[in-house]
Structure 1
Amino acid sequence: MALRFDAAAASDIGPHRSTNQDAAYASAWAALVADGVGGGPSGDLASAALVHRVVAGGPSAAAEPQRLADHLRVANWDLRAHVEREPELAGMATTFTGVFAAADGSVLLAHSGDSRAYLLRDGELSQQTR
């Protein structure tokens, strides 16, 4: 039996920002969030572009750890290509945290930046990334 997530995504701007730079995706095969790095240019573009590229790969992009790592690397190269086409975007960046259902039934966790992942088990939260 294949692993499937029952996932949803929600976002809140919080009390200290005037814009929301979050991008998220939730499905049966993945749940992920990217958040533009505050203070830099076009964090909303960076987070949306990264999420779009990861999601476009579909479940096969996360079937195994190396395939997922390669797919995330390509998504990062896409961000660099945006900057090369539009130099005024230099410095745009995003954090990223995602969980993926792997082909072998395991869960893959991918993470970059300061958006943390937590495990909720038996009513207790434990931080999985730092």
Structure 2
Amino acid sequence: MTKKILILEDNELMIEVMTYILYNYGYEVVSSIYPEKVFDHIKSSRPDLVILDTWQPALDSHEVCRLLKLNVATRNLPVIICSENEDVVALYPDEKCAPNGILYKPFGMNSLIRTIEYQLAA
């Protein structure tokens, strides 16, 4: 069964690159530049994992992650945060609201795939 990844990223080129890589590794990809619609996307596409960019202009990704982790319907959905900030872990003092994984930018194709595979296997 093909695993589905939801990418929430404000950079459309980054979405294209990640989508290309993930398709080539056999994943189905759904993407959006609108993090405020995360629950609509989850409800309609039923992803197996969510990738969030840290700097979203409309809604902070830390808040999106917190909302996902506190919601009964989505709390077990793996969330990976993509960040340029190496101190991103400090932004999640409450462990139950923290992402499952972090990809530090710039990241390579192997890091992306390894992080996704690790989260989907957990």
Q: TM-score range by the shorter chain?
A: 0.3 to 0.5
TM-score by length of 1: 0.32
Which of the two has greater helix per residue? 2
